[in-house]
Structure 1
């Protein structure tokens, strides 16, 4: 170990270990300077609040400290939906709405950097271009890379394109977006994602749970999807079709998306263009669940029986 532990001869003014703590500037964050103050009534008494504020790309993790205060007071249940509605205008920095719990809605009229909605756990995030902007939203990136990484629950409505690795490791979020970059829904384990346009390459790599619905107008989505762990299917069940349509309705209501409005006006013609991305393991589990419930099992017993059968399934072992 002598070579590893060797200490070079340096001057006394050269530091060889951490001597100055890093200043993260948390005391200057929007949460501490503004949000906690204006949301005092909501935090203490559950009073509803809807306010509009400016935001800049130097404002990072906006809403996270506020969200932690909600969780401290109300636990995992959070507050009733939309108790705190923050409408920002401008360009948000990294990690907008990270780990935001139920009860907080963040509406951004502008654009956002990477990690938007990271770890979202019940909150709602709405992003759309500035009103009056001249560019076509679905053809321009509105949020950066790795949006909604590791989200466990909540809702997201994004009018425009998302960068790479959208909804990676999503385990419970419901999201609508108008296009995504490479590696969308990678390692996804739960939740639902509706993509109203093109995807990048390697979509659904390692996806073992949840469901994605991709609008494939040109019929070439299969060339950009990693089908090692997923099936590509059509929407057939009426309840599922209505769920997807309703998500698009909400997307239009929240973002005023002209693309969503157009798709809804031609719904019967557009519906066959949607591709359902269904994880193979998840499909086997769901089919087994239906069968064991028909046998009279329910609750945890049904779940464990389905899980154990799936682990022994030969088709799973062979990768089919």
Structure 2
């Protein structure tokens, strides 16, 4: 069955001098110029909490284009203090609809609350901390009859 197959092209080295662009480079309309994590990490109270093990509570709006919110914050904490070395806390209340992978890599000291709903992969790779998703108080219908988080929550959480 395979006697007529020619797979010699697989073993050939490609010509790396040829321009292989399929289309002229254009700006990416989906590129993020700044993320919600960047905005939060730029706040003096958040910086101080991470550096000096302080406790901070804040409330911020969130939209479904805000993806992997708190991933960079968790990374900054882990970089500064290791996985278990931070003794501060950030209680962050997000109002609105959280995008994909909200609370990614959540760690001890992060207390995250969404007042609204969230897309897929909430708590992905979570290994500490706390995440709560709850509907807004004035929702107008019985939240027990509706889904307020997307699929595949806590994927890879330990």
TM-score by length of 1: 0.41
Asked if structure 1 preserves the Cα contact closer than 8 Å seen for 2:63 and 2:97, the reply is yes
Q: Distance in 1 between matches of 2:64 and 2:133?
A: 15
What's the counterpart of residue 75 of structure 1?
Answer: 82
Q: Distance in 2 between matches of 1:107 and 1:35?
A: 18
Matches within 5 A, 1:155-174: none
Describe the SS at the equivalent of 2:124: coil
- What root-mean-square deviation, in Å, do the aligned CA atoms of Structure 1 and Structure 2 show? 2.8
Equivalenced residues, count? 145
Is 1:116 matched with 2:122? yes
Asked if structure 1 preserves the Cα contact closer than 8 Å seen for 2:116 and 2:134, the reply is yes
How has the CA–CA distance of structure 1 residues 102 and 90 changed in structure 2, closer, same or farther, with 3 Å as cutoff?
same
Asked if structure 1 preserves the Cα contact closer than 8 Å seen for 2:65 and 2:98, the reply is yes
Query: How far is the alpha carbon of 1:4 from its aligned partner?
Result: 4.1
Q: Distance in 2 between matches of 1:66 and 1:136?
A: 34
Is 1:145 matched with 2:144? no
Higher helix content, 1 or 2: 1
Query: How far is the alpha carbon of 1:2 from its aligned partner?
Result: 2.5
Matches within 5 A, 1:65-104: 65-80=72-87, 83-104=89-110
**1:143-197: CA deviation from partner (whole Å, max 9, x where unpaired):** 0011110101xxxxxxxxxxxxxxxxxxxxxxxxxxxxxxxxxxxxxxxxxxxxx
Asked if structure 2 preserves the Cα contact closer than 8 Å seen for 1:27 and 1:33, the reply is no
What's the counterpart of residue 268 of structure 1?
Answer: none
Q: Distance in 2 between matches of 1:14 and 1:99?
A: 37
From 50, 53, 57, the counterpart of 1:50: 57
**1:21-52: CA deviation from partner (whole Å, max 9, x where unpaired):** x7974551111123342411101111110010
Higher strand content, 1 or 2: 1
Rg larger in 1 or in 2?
Answer: 1
Pick 1 or 2: higher relative contact order, CA cutoff 8 A, min separation 6.
2
Unaligned runs of 5+ in 1: 7-11, 153-320
Describe the SS at the equivalent of 2:83: helix
Query: How far is the alpha carbon of 1:77 from its aligned partner?
Result: 0.8
Q: Distance in 1 between matches of 2:61 and 2:47?
A: 19
Unaligned runs of 5+ in 2: 1-6, 13-17
**1:238-285: CA deviation from partner (whole Å, max 9, x where unpaired):** xxxxxxxxxxxxxxxxxxxxxxxxxxxxxxxxxxxxxxxxxxxxxxxx
Q: Distance in 2 between matches of 1:50 and 1:25?
A: 30
Describe the SS at the equivalent of 1:77: coil
Query: How far is the alpha carbon of 1:122 from its aligned partner?
Result: 0.6
What's the counterpart of residue 134 of structure 2?
Answer: 128
Matches within 5 A, 1:1-320: 1-4=7-10, 15=21, 25=31, 27-37=33-43, 38-80=45-87, 83-152=89-158
